[in-house]
Amino acid sequence: MTDSPATVALVLGLLEGLTEFIPVSSTGHLLLAGHFLGFESKGKTFEVVIQLGAILALLTVYAARLWKVFSTAHRDPAAMRFIIAVLIAFFPAVAIGLLAHDFIKTVLFETPILIAVMLIIGGIVLLFVDRMANVPNYDDAMTLPLGVALKIGLFQCLAMIPGVSRSGSTIVGGLLLGTSKRAAAEFSFFLSMPTMAGAVALDLYKNRNLLDWADLNLIAIGFAAAFASALLVVRWLLGFVSRRGYAPFAWWRIIVGTLALGALLMGF
Q: What's the pLDDT at 107?
A: 64
Q: What's the pLDDT at 98?
A: 81
Q: What is the pLDDT along the chain (268 residues), one digit of tens a residue?
A: 446 888 898 999 999 999 999 999 888 888 888 888 888 776 667 777 788 899 999 999 999 999 999 999 999 999 999 999 999 999 999 888 888 777 776 666 667 888 899 999 999 999 999 988 678 899 999 999 999 999 999 999 998 888 898 999 999 999 999 999 999 999 999 999 999 888 888 877 877 777 666 678 888 999 999 999 999 999 899 889 888 899 999 999 999 999 999 999 988 8
Q: What's the pLDDT at 209?
A: 78
Instruction: Judge contact between 227 and 56, C-beta under 8 A.
Output: yes
Q: What's the pLDDT at 207?
A: 75
Q: 109 phi and psi, to 5 degrees?
A: -70, -15
Q: What's the pLDDT at 1?
A: 45
Q: What's the pLDDT at 48?
A: 74
Nearest to 193 by CA among 89, 45, 68, 108: 89
Domain ranges of the chain: 5-265
